[in-house]
């Protein structure tokens, strides 16, 4: 463990699910399928869910930086299913593949447009603070599932860069 109590490698910090909408709440493990995270549901299937948006990802380090700016965001509140730690988030891009734990493989498909339902977590309701267009490198990411399996917090996450 490092000084801050985290593993010294990129890892799954938290798994988050809800019965629709935000915030999503932490669970101790989850089955990741091509349809998404078991036990999770989205309210608006026109903009969330589906094979290319099966899993939403975000960075624990960016959440902490947003908290330092005075925003009340926490892991899961912005609707991400998997909160990851230990990545240079701004370098992740569509086409990159991630191995999550021993079983799951996902591919980043797109940047996630910020949703007005997240305004409650942001000072002055500035939810576009996490817009890729407004602040490149701060967006959540959508991923499709290439290989299904079970994940748990602390699982190593390995980036397979798409050059």
How much is the pLDDT for 45? 47
pLDDT value of position 116: 86
Annotated domain spans of the chain: 11-160
- Give me the architecture of the 11-160 domain, per CATH: Beta Barrel (2.40)
Q: Are residues 52 and 94 in contact, defined by beta-carbon separation less than 8 angstroms?
A: no
Full-prediction pTM beyond 0.85?
yes
Mean pLDDT by 10 residues, the chain (163 residues): 65 94 94 94 59 94 97 95 96 96 97 89 93 96 97 96 63
Work out whether strand 25-27 and strand 30-33 pair parallel, antiparallel, or are unpaired. Answer: unpaired
Whose tokens are 């996490």? That residue is: 130
Residue 117's pLDDT is: 86
Say if residues 27 and 86 touch (Cβ distance below 8 Å). Answer: no
Residues 90-116: b if buried by 16+ CB within 10 A, e if exposed:
eebeeebbbbbbeebbbbbbbbbebbe
């Amino acid at each position: 463990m490092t000084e801050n109590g985290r593993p010294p490698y990129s890892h799954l910090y938290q798994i988050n699910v809800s019965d629709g909408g935000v915030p999503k709440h932490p669970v101790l493990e989850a089955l990741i399928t091509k349809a998404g995270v078991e036990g999770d549901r989205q309210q608006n299937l026109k903009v969330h869910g589906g094979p290319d948006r099966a899993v939403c990802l975000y960075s624990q380090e960016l959440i902490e930086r947003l908290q330092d700016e005075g925003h009340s965001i926490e892991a899961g509140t912005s609707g991400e299913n998997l909160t990851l730690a230990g990545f240079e988030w701004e370098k992740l891009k569509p086409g990159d593949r991630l191995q999550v734990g021993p079983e799951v493989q996902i591919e980043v498909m797109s940047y996630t447009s910020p949703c007005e339902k997240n305004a409650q977590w942001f000072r002055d309701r500035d939810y576009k603070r996490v817009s890729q267009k407004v602040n490149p490198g701060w967006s959540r990411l959508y991923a499709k599932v290439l290989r299904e399996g079970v994940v748990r917090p602390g699982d190593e996450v390995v980036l397979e860069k798409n050059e």
